[in-house]
Amino acid sequence: MIDNSSIKISVRNLVEFILCSGDIDSSRRKTADKEAMQAGSRMHRKIQGGKGTEYHSEYPLKIVIPGDRFSIIVEGRADGIIIKEDGVTVDEIKGVYMDLDYLQEPVAVHKAQAMCYGYIYAKENALESIGIQMTYCGLDSEQIKYFRDEHTFAELETWFETLISEYKKWAKFQYEWRIERQASIQPLEFPFPYREGQKKLAASVYRTIERNKKLFIQAPTGVGKTMSAIFPAVKAVGEGLSEKIFYLTAKTITRTVAKEAFDTLKGDGLRYKVATITAKDKLCILEKTECTPAACPRAKGHYDRVNQAVFDLINREDEYTTETILDYAERYSVCPFELCLDVSVWADAVICDYNYVFDPNVHLKRFFSEGVKGNYIFLVDEAHNLVDRAREMYSASLYKEELMELKRLLKGRGKKLESGLQKCNKYLLEIKRECDEWRIIPDTGHFVFNLMALSAEIEKFLEEEPNGELRDKVLEFYLEARHFLNIYDRLDDSYVIYSEHDEDGRFKLKLFCVNPATNLKEFLDKGDGTVFFSATLLPVQYYRELLSTAEDDYAVYAESPFSEEKRLVLIGGDVSSRYTRRSAAEYRKIAAYIIRTIRQKKGNYLIFFPSYRFMEDVYAHFAEMLDEEIRSLRQSPGMNEEMREEFLSNFMTPGEESLAGFCVMGGIFGEGIDLKYDSLIGTVIVGTGLPQVCNEREILKQYYDAHGRNGFEFAYLNPGMNKVLQAAGRVIRTAEDQGVILLLDERFRTAQYMRLFPREWRGFETCTMDTVEEKISSFWESQKKD
């Protein structure tokens, strides 16, 4: 239970927040001021373990600063307290990726952390003076450099009191806002009459947060899952069970739905600050994003102005939208993206993409740095998307061709650089010769150590090389290498290492995260409870295994509130999308199915295919059979947002003729679009949605087969069926909707597929080319009677 009479802040967050100053300069910060996560903590333990009995590692320290209405609690763990007869020294260890010869003095905020710990320890133990030591370790070279000085308690006390006095106005704001927010939550009631099963759903979310568990919700369209998740989460915050909600999603449209849910609750009296994090490239004022003081006027002196901008914004506004952020960023001449991230600290809810929580490269270090545990609730929308997204986040590749290009660019720039490049290239050349198409690699041998040494040499180059095209290209490779090494630190039984010749002829070595659950756990454990929800989270055990390591997760299946009589699910079992059956005759039969379906009722239809090629093959026959009563549109590869909106605008209202939209399953029209009422009255799904056979899918299959599981289900069946369910979910969006879902493939009639059907499909029927018209016609006649 959160204590509302105190404001807590970590030592690290305090000093980084109050003392940060100067410019944004990504060209330098990415190399010289990078602290590692896992590699850094391992180095910490190595240094700490070799210090002897005088060294007390991970020493917890806390100070309470009392006030009239509330207290401020500053706490953290000192990396080391060295206790000797001649005095005490606080040791702060920082693992960095840089040549320490370039480091002439400790980074100011690093030393400030040590000074905070020194003050707290000296105060607790009545010391007149204390040593402050910074221990820097080069993570590639294991080079160590110390900076040490002595401070009197009086010096530290004056310094610390100045630091706290600057923070007090922020703490006062936080305390007063929390009182106002909590008071608004207490009388809050669910904003709509509960639909069938919705109250049970909301109660399940609340209990999950209360018990600090994870919940998986399969919730069909119409259940109202967004409000069913947000409302109980807000109530949990009101009861002191947590402090901040992260609403995580993969698509912009679902972020809008989440914001609308908070707006609805605000209309009923809720006081809540909501931040929506927008991607950097959409907020940047420059044509090409370049975060350097030379390129961007707002980058120069950004940190000197940003706190004033944040304080003004949080005191005046409760909605931190793109428009609001851009407005205040212009007023104070600061970077809008960095302002957005800073404001999220003071928000009660943060709506953002998955990567801001889970991605090891871009997650919000304000909340998710190692050792930081917050009072967070994670609401993961469209959670079926997180599996592949997480696999991508925790995987890494290096291409031999990129290494060769770097070798060409850096020729003559140093023997160590050239030697490091040659060693790395030699290994990749060896495994390339042994690889026909793709090959599992048991381990990387000495490659990783050679890559670490190469990275250290590149760091030296980047420190000395002036900004320019060459430096940019070297930096790009360096960051890829750094990511590869960081992912290597995560390797365990959930990874497969393989080499592959890409279709474009390039050769790569990949660290492939097959099961991301362990990596996700690192971040989910920082919260008070997690709710995964989607309209297509079947089979739930599949998603539980790939998104969570816990054995006691909860799962809920929410019944659809919509009448089954208004939906016709038909299986056409006399056609197939199997490769062995693909022919002109089969394409023509599928085209005939589509036309016979559409002719039964004028309206808008979407037809989904497993690939563009299949779509075009069927469309060629469809076009031959077409008459003036049916108009058609086709999705094309690489459609931008404007083209997507233009495509969908054709469905907004029924026209004089029927409209058939030809699309690809799993594409931009396969999920996340909301065509209500007469905007869409039917969908035809051709094929089972199986992903294209590729090397990585085969690796997944082999991995799970080797672990005693059904590899085909993990690699193909379950992901494919998810695409089918998402496409089918476009039809019935409201209680008033009526529609037809026609599944065209013989495999849908097998037990293997039918066990994955959602409960609301239990009344499905089968048909043939000869009976499809009669069955659909009868369905539409029955809707007239209703």
Reply yes or no on domain 184-392+522-557 having CATH 3.40.50.300. Answer: yes
Q: Is 65 exposed, middle or buried (0-12, 13-18, 19+ CB in 10 A)?
A: middle
Mean pLDDT of 526-536: 93
**Both tokens assigned to 654:** 């029924």
Checking if the pLDDT of 38 tops 50, the result is no
Condensed to tens digits (0 to 9), the pLDDT of residues 79-116 reads: 999 999 889 999 999 888 777 888 889 999 999 999 99
- Look up tokens 């492939």; give the residue: 512
Rounded Cα–Cα distance for residues 328 and 529 (Å): 33
Enter the CATH code of domain 6-173: 3.90.320.10
459 contact partners, CB below 8 Å, separation of at least 6: 31, 97, 98, 99, 140, 478
How far is C-alpha 268 from the chain's CA centre?
31
Answer with the residue of higher pLDDT: 174 or 653. Answer: 174
- Other CB atoms within a 10 A radius of the CB of residue 90 amount to 28
DSSP string, 287-308: SS---STTT-TTTTTHHHHHHH
Condensed to tens digits (0 to 9), the pLDDT of residues 658-679 reads: 999 999 999 889 887 888 888 9
Rounded Cα–Cα distance for residues 623 and 612 (Å): 16
- Other CB atoms within a 10 A radius of the CB of residue 774 amount to 12
Rounded Cα–Cα distance for residues 403 and 426 (Å): 10
Mean pLDDT of 307-326: 96
Mean pLDDT of 695-718: 96
CB 250 within 8 A of CB 265: no
- Other CB atoms within a 10 A radius of the CB of residue 294 amount to 12
CATH topology of domain 564-785: Rossmann fold (3.40.50)
Q: Is 734 exposed, middle or buried (0-12, 13-18, 19+ CB in 10 A)?
A: exposed
Condensed to tens digits (0 to 9), the pLDDT of residues 219-241 reads: 888 788 999 999 999 999 999 99
Mean pLDDT of 714-720: 97
- Other CB atoms within a 10 A radius of the CB of residue 209 amount to 26
Checking if the pLDDT of 36 tops 70, the result is no
Condensed to tens digits (0 to 9), the pLDDT of residues 126-184 reads: 999 999 999 998 877 778 899 999 999 999 999 999 999 999 999 999 999 999 999 99
Reply yes or no on domain 396-513 having CATH 3.40.50.360. Answer: no
- Other CB atoms within a 10 A radius of the CB of residue 123 amount to 16
Fold match between domain 184-392+522-557 and domain 396-513: no
CB 63 within 8 A of CB 73: yes
Query: At what angle are helices 469-488 and 447-464 packed, to 10 degrees?
Result: 150
Checking if the pLDDT of 5 tops 50, the result is yes
Instruction: Indicate the domain borders of the chain.
Output: 6-173, 184-392+522-557, 396-513, 564-785
Rounded Cα–Cα distance for residues 729 and 733 (Å): 8
Sheet of 495-501: strand order equals 396-399, 507-513, 495-501, 438-440
- pLDDT averaged over every residue in the chain: 91
DSSP string, 709-769: S-HHIIIIIHHHHHHHHHHHTTS--STT--EEEEEE-GGGGSHHHHTTS-GGGTT-EEE-T
309 contact partners, CB below 8 Å, separation of at least 6: 328, 329, 331, 332, 334, 339
Pairing of strands 658-664, 765-767: unpaired
Mean pLDDT of 325-337: 96
What does the pLDDT read at residue 29?
43
Checking if the pLDDT of 533 tops 80, the result is yes
What spatial distance separates the first Cα and last Cα of the chain, rounded to whole Å? Answer: 52
Residue closest to 341 by CA, chosen among 313, 360, 315 = 313
- Other CB atoms within a 10 A radius of the CB of residue 627 amount to 8
Helix (H) or strand (E) holding 498: strand 495-501
What does the pLDDT read at residue 351?
97
**Which amino acid makes up residue 741?**
I
CA distances from 135 to 106, 107, 155, 583 (A): 9, 11, 22, 69
Condensed to tens digits (0 to 9), the pLDDT of residues 207-222 reads: 999 999 999 999 888 7
Q: pTM score, two decimals?
A: 0.92
How far is C-alpha 746 from the chain's CA centre?
37
Condensed to tens digits (0 to 9), the pLDDT of residues 138-154 reads: 877 778 899 999 999 99
Condensed to tens digits (0 to 9), the pLDDT of residues 584-631 reads: 999 999 999 999 999 999 999 999 999 999 999 999 999 998 877 899
Taken in order 301, 303, 306, 311, the sign of the CA dihedral is negative
Characterize 136-155 residue by residue with b for buried, 16 or more Cβ atoms within 10 angstroms of its Cβ, and e for exposed.
bbbbbbeeeeebeeebebee
